[in-house]
Amino acid sequence: MSYSVSPIGFVRSCFKEKFAIPRQPQLAPAARGVLELVPPFDQGEAVQGLEQVSHVWLLFLFHQALEDKPRLKVRPPRLGGNQSVGVFSTRATHRPNGIGQSVVRLERVEQGKLWLSGIDLLDGTPVLDIKPYVPYADSVADAVNRIADSAPALIDVDWQPAALAQGQAHEQRLGEPLVALIEQCLAQDPRPAYQVPAPDRQYGARFWDVDVRWHYPQPGQIRVLEVVVAES
């Protein structure tokens, strides 16, 4: 038996590639984007009332991780990438039907557009449904998850002075909290846990229209080296 679903909209996100996106929403409050609704949901009626809601659940497709053959076990980065567990005990992107869910802050509602922050979604993500967050039902005070029992530990992020000046200039140009976005995302330490970062090894990721490069001068510390406009 199969059912078909179709997107009600697509996310225009600060994240242009998967690397360095936080592993869950809310970890980078400066991560912003717009959910652009498609017809007939772009008429305003479908979102009427949402201005009374601070957060929404988004149900979406991991469109850049879809696979034909379902995996039963996965190796979540959270467990260092070398321990495998049942797919249903994780929030891994490779999963049956490729469906993700994130609670995100709803900053503003416009006809056909929802302005979001705290997102963990790649640019172009197809969204299947939106539901209001209901605090009394969705927040479970005595919930336990022994695989992911707390937010990931943060590491220090500092800047080469020239890189910070570049970041601040692009922040002004974009009208987006770019410096905070970079700090919040890199503090999650996007590097795969199995990689020991040599100080001369550089890493990079794209946020909005800029490429950010960084290295690890010592374990547990990131230094931002450069923030430059990305080549298309």
Chain residues binding ligand SAM by CB under 6 A are 18, 21, 23-25, 62-65, 91, 93, 100-102, 120-122, 125
- Taking the least distance from each CB to ligand SAM, the nearer of 23 and 71 is 23
- Taking the least distance from each CB to ligand SAM, the nearer of 18 and 73 is 18
Nearest distance in Å: CB 19, ligand SAM: 7
- Taking the least distance from each CB to ligand SAM, the nearer of 159 and 208 is 208
Distance CA 33, CA 9 (A): 13
- Taking the least distance from each CB to ligand SAM, the nearer of 100 and 177 is 100
* Token pair recorded at residue 122: 């790649």
Nearest distance in Å: CB 185, ligand SAM: 10
Mark out the alpha helices in 133-177 (DSSP H runs): 135-138, 161-174
- Taking the least distance from each CB to ligand SAM, the nearer of 20 and 178 is 20
Nearest distance in Å: CB 126, ligand SAM: 8
Distance CA 152, CA 58 (A): 22
Residue type, 196: V
Nearest distance in Å: CB 195, ligand SAM: 16
Q: Is 183 helix (H, G, I), strand (E, B) or coil?
A: helix
Nearest distance in Å: CB 103, ligand SAM: 8
Question: Is the distance from CB of 132 to CB of 13 less than 8 angstroms?
Answer: no
Distance CA 50, CA 108 (A): 9
Distance CA 143, CA 138 (A): 11
- DSSP bridge partners of 156: 221
